[in-house]
Amino acid sequence: MRTPLAWLNVTNNLGRMMLSALGIGFAVVLMFSQIGFLNGLFDSAVEVLRLLDTDLVILSPARYTVPSEQRFEYGLIDRAKGVEGVRVAIPMYIDRSLAQARVIGHVSRSIRVIGFPKDSKPFIDPEMNRSLEELSDASMALVDRRSKEAYGFEKRSVERLRAQAAELSGKQIVLRDWVRIGTDFVYDGTLLISEAGVEHFFPSRAGQAGQAVVENLRRPPLSAVDLGLIRLEPHADPARVALDLQARLGSGIEVFTKKQLISREIGFWARNTPIGIIFSIGTIMGLVIGVIICYQILFTDIQDHMAEYATLKAMGYGSGYFLRFVLSQAFYLCLFGFLPGWLVSWLLYQWLSEWTGLVMRLDAGRVLLVAVLTLVMSGLSGVLAVRKLWRSDPAALFK
């Protein structure tokens, strides 16, 4: 039976092994945090879209990103209902420029307000739909529990939340319950209201009716729609229905599948902001730090056991053996560092998600990415450290 020399060499000194694991674990946490922030910002930007129960989304072609406020006419929603394969068409209203939230005792802050027809069931989560249906009065709203603390919304007791005195755009608002959505590049918080609430709080959101009508006559607030959510019949082809919608509704709208719109939004923020480059550099720096830490650990171990290595070399063990040996040590060290780093990162993600309101997900793909980077780290550090053994002269070591 072959002696697991690399394993024994790593585990024979428990204190040293733990210190080594801590050093490598720090690099692992750094990579996880950078990747987490990068994807967290992107995920947060599209979290509302992911929560929606829709097959297709229609929006104004001028709406270059979802937070922009270019709208289309409500009549296009009615026309969309007549397209073959369309089961339901739901208007979605989003306001920020007119929306100022103030909890009494706190300063007024801009907030995202999203409105739906009360019985439309726009979300995948049945609990969110039930909460929306409970908005029986136009003055009622649901609060995003991940909204920034600066708003002053109660986040622990629903009774205290309902007792809070608050205003939206200068009118009293009744806070009924919580939902979980999250902050993003643009929004620090979110309120959900009913379609009646949109009319109540934002009577001027649709602007003027135009030059041909009586001066100061305003269009109905619900006549301007931000997004249209299209659910299809069970066996309808989304691509065909999308083409039919585009042909029926004309150039006044664009049609996307939910997946396409999410990809477009992430692409917009990736191309138009420097965050992708910043956090990618941060991830690379974490990898470099890990290589340096692991290399120093291996180099010190080689230095401390040079006599033993020289004996093995004098016995005829070649360069390939020492490469495998040092790479094995590097792998064990990185494994011991990766596991606690993974756990610490998971806890860090939970804390950051609650503190910042960002959507921080430690999913399998991201864990796998950091695991691969950790393997690369162990390989690079092992190759750098083994060169000292390759260059050593056994005869000189015994003088």
Domain residue ranges of the chain, discontinuous segments joined by +: 5-45+274-397, 61-252
pLDDT at position 237 over 90: yes
Give residue 2's pLDDT. Answer: 61
pLDDT at position 3 over 70: no
Give residue 193's pLDDT. Answer: 96
Q: What percent of the chain has pLDDT over 90?
A: 52
CA atoms within 13 A on the CB side of 325: 24
| H-only helix segments in 273-363 | 275-304, 306-314, 319-356
Mean residue pLDDT across the chain:
87
What does the pLDDT average to over 236-251? 93
Give residue 352's pLDDT. Answer: 86
Give residue 1's pLDDT. Answer: 46
- Using the 8-state DSSP alphabet, how is residue 208 labeled? B
Buried b (16+ CB within 10 A) or exposed e, 250-283: eeebbbbbbeebbebbbebbbeeeeeeeebeebb
DSSP reduced 3-state for 69: coil
Give the tens place of pLDDT for each residue, 326-355. Answer: 888 888 888 899 999 999 999 999 998 888
Report d(CA 273, CA 145) in Å as an integer: 27
Our CA angle for 149, 349, 344, nearest 5°, is 130
Q: Which residue has the tokens 């020289």?
A: 310
pLDDT at position 215 over 60: no
Cβ partners under 8 Å of residue 156, min gap 6: none
Give the tens place of pLDDT for each residue, 69-123. Answer: 899 999 999 999 999 999 999 999 999 888 999 999 999 999 999 999 988 999 9
Give residue 20's pLDDT. Answer: 84
User: Hey, how many other C-beta atoms are within 10 angstroms of the C-beta on 125?
Assistant: 12
Q: Which among 172, 187, 208 has a CA at the least distance from the CA of 95?
A: 187
What does the pLDDT average to over 198-219? 67
Give residue 246's pLDDT. Answer: 94
Q: Which residue has the tokens 């941060």?
A: 282
Q: Which residue has the tokens 């299809």?
A: 232
DSSP reduced 3-state for 115: strand
Give residue 317's pLDDT. Answer: 73
Q: Work out the pLDDT band at 129, boundaries 50, 70, 90.
A: very high
Give residue 217's pLDDT. Answer: 52
Give the tens place of pLDDT for each residue, 146-173. Answer: 999 999 999 999 999 999 999 999 999 9
Give residue 397's pLDDT. Answer: 53
* Residue 140 and residue 176 in contact, taking contact as beta carbons nearer than 8 Å: yes
Give residue 210's pLDDT. Answer: 42
pLDDT at position 63 over 90: yes
